[in-house]
Amino acid sequence: MINAVSIGIHDIAFATTHYVLDLDDLARHRGVDPAKYHLGLGQDAMSIPAADEDIVTMAAAAAAPILQLHGTDNLRTVLLATETAVDQSKAAALYLHPLLNLPSTTRIVELKQACYAATAALQFAIGLITRNPADQVLIIAADIARYDLDSPGEPTQGAAAVAMLVTADPAILQLDSPSGVYSDDIMDFWRPNHRSTAVVDGELSVRTYLTATSQAWADYRNNGGRQLDEFSAFCYHLPYTAMARKAHKHLLETLGIEWPNDRIAAVVDAGTRYNRTIGNSYTASLYLSLLSLLDHSSELSGRAVAFFSYGSGCVSECFSGTIRPGYRQHLRTADNQHQIAARTPISYPRYRAVHTEHANPCIADCYFDQDTAGPYRLTEIVNDKRRYQKI
């Protein structure tokens, strides 16, 4: 079953940070076998923001190529999903107004529910476009995953923003109507207002993720969703990429299905390549997985893809879509790969210093020297007003 009006992702782009930390470095300094990170967690590196980068600079960099290509004439709504908010009241996407020349005739709002919020944004966008198919919605999922130094979560940190233009008659992915949801009040991962890093019960979060995934799938099927064997690929929320195989295995077990490991790898691994080197990007991670799938798979035209979104706390959603014929012409594969390769390696001592600086937010006036080579930067916070600059 599909939406009466064909709605989905018309364009998708991403941005990450200036710095990268190789997890071999982290393993050496922590006295951990690097295989734990590479094989156990499925992570090779993590993106680290420069002192003058945050979710706004990444969001602007992700959205800019989309707006340059499509303009803003039909853009009516901008939804920025994040759990790394820079303000308790003002929506971060409002800072994009001058940076991206957004029209004043747009509604702008920020959404939060741990790593799930971008999926809520996608569902809200479908509703808006169903009401008026001429409207376009820009969704930006942007997060910096930051855990305490020396904690179990530390090797799974990372940062990225994924921007998606959602329209009628989309060029890349047409979304199906059925959706399966699951929610419960669980204290597996949260970040109280006074903290810059998350509080996490890692083991509980993994268990809850797996339960929520199979429950969301059951609800998806109960609402008329496709059968498992109709899918060519599965994109999972990726706090670390080993989670994709783990979650798929769990889903199969709950359905009483047995697949060899190489068959599981064939349907999930292409969607993990970018996440493996960028790290967790919370609500952006599922959509980074889609980007990875699009950039690393052989022809997907007409193929169905399943998506599993999970946000601790917890909300989970399973939904699906079909890749549109000719989608490859709309990808930015070379740019995406260049951006990842162009990150600057950061030394371990400098990484710890940057982490500590971020953990102590600016409470007096702060001025930031230029650190990033990215297209947008945070220049100052004066009288609690953030100021950004297009470089």
Question: Catalytic residue positions?
Answer: 83, 115, 237
CA–CA distance, 49 with 160 (Å, rounded to integer) = 9
Q: Which is nearer to ligand COA, 57 or 280 (CB)?
A: 280
Of the pair 73, 262, the CB lying nearest ligand COA is at 262
Number of residues that bind ligand COA (CB under 6 A): 18
Nearest approach, Cβ of residue 310 and ligand COA (Å): 6
In the block, which residue shows the tokens 């509080």? 199
234 burial via Cβ count (<10 Å: 0-12, 13-18, 19+): buried
Quote the radius of gyration of the chain (alpha carbons, Å): 20
289 contacts ligand COA (rule: CB under 6 A): no
Q: Rule CB under 6 A: say whether 313 interacts with ligand COA.
A: no
Residues whose CB falls within 8 Å of the CB of residue 364, separated by 6 or more in sequence, listed in order: none
Q: Does 152 bind ligand COA (CB under 6 A)?
A: yes
Structure-token match 């059925």, residue found: 178
CB of 50 to ligand COA, least distance (A): 23
Residue from the set 312, 320, 322, 336 that interacts with ligand COA by CB under 6 A = 312
| Cis bond before residue 314 (omega within 30° of 0) | yes
Residue 150: left (phi > 0), alpha (psi -120 to 50), or beta? left
d(CA 119, CA 138): 13
Distance of CA 54 to CAs 108, 164, 372, Å? 19, 19, 11
Per CB under 6 A, 36 contacts ligand COA: yes
Which window, 12-20, 89-97, 178-186, 202-210, contacts ligand COA (CB under 6 A)? 202-210
Query: Considering the rule CB under 6 A, would residue 27 count as an interface residue with ligand COA?
Result: no
Residue number with CB closer to ligand COA (39 or 359) = 39
Q: How far is the CB of 325 from ligand COA (least distance, A)?
A: 35
Least distance from C-beta 248 to ligand COA, angstroms? Answer: 13
Could you give the C-alpha distances from 199 to 55, 202, 331, 344, 356, in angstroms and in order? 20, 9, 37, 29, 16
Least gap, CB of 26 to ligand COA (angstroms):
12
Letters for 38-77 (x = contact with ligand COA by CB under 6 A, - = none) are -xxx------------------------------------
Binding residue for ligand COA (CB under 6 A) from 56, 160, 200, 238? 200
For ligand COA, the closer of residues 206 and 366 by Cβ is: 206
Of residues 239 and 374, the one with the C-beta less far from ligand COA: 239
Rounded Cα gap, residues 152 and 42, in angstroms: 14
Please identify, using beta-carbon distances, which residue of 178 and 271 lies nearer to ligand COA: 271
Asked whether the beta carbons of 97 and 75 are under 8 A apart, the reply is: no
**What is the residue type of 12?**
I
| DSSP sequence for 33-72 | -HHIIIIII---EEEE--TT--HHHHHHHHHHHHHHHH-S
For ligand COA, the closer of residues 217 and 240 by Cβ is: 240
Output 31 or 349, the one with its CB closest to ligand COA: 31
Dihedral Cα 148, 153, 157, 163, nearest 10 deg: -110
From 169-177, 198-206, 259-267, 319-327, give the range in contact with ligand COA by CB under 6 A.
198-206
The correct pick among 8, 49, 153, 225 for binding ligand COA (CB under 6 A) is 153
Give me the DSSP letters along 186-255: --SEE--TT-SS-EE-HHHHHHHHHHHHHHHHHHHHHTTPPPGGGEEEEEE--SSTHHHHHHHHHHHHHT
Nearest approach, Cβ of residue 156 and ligand COA (Å): 5
CB 151 within 8 A of CB 279: no
CB-nearest residue to ligand COA: 40
Nearest alpha-carbon partner for 42 in 214, 207, 248: 248
Among 49, 158, 178, 239, binds ligand COA (CB under 6 A): 239
Segment interacting with ligand COA, rule: CB under 6 A, options 99-107, 151-159, 334-342, 376-384: 151-159
- Which parts of this chain interact with ligand COA (CB under 6 A)? 33, 35-36, 39-41, 152-153, 156, 200, 202-203, 205-206, 209, 239-240, 312
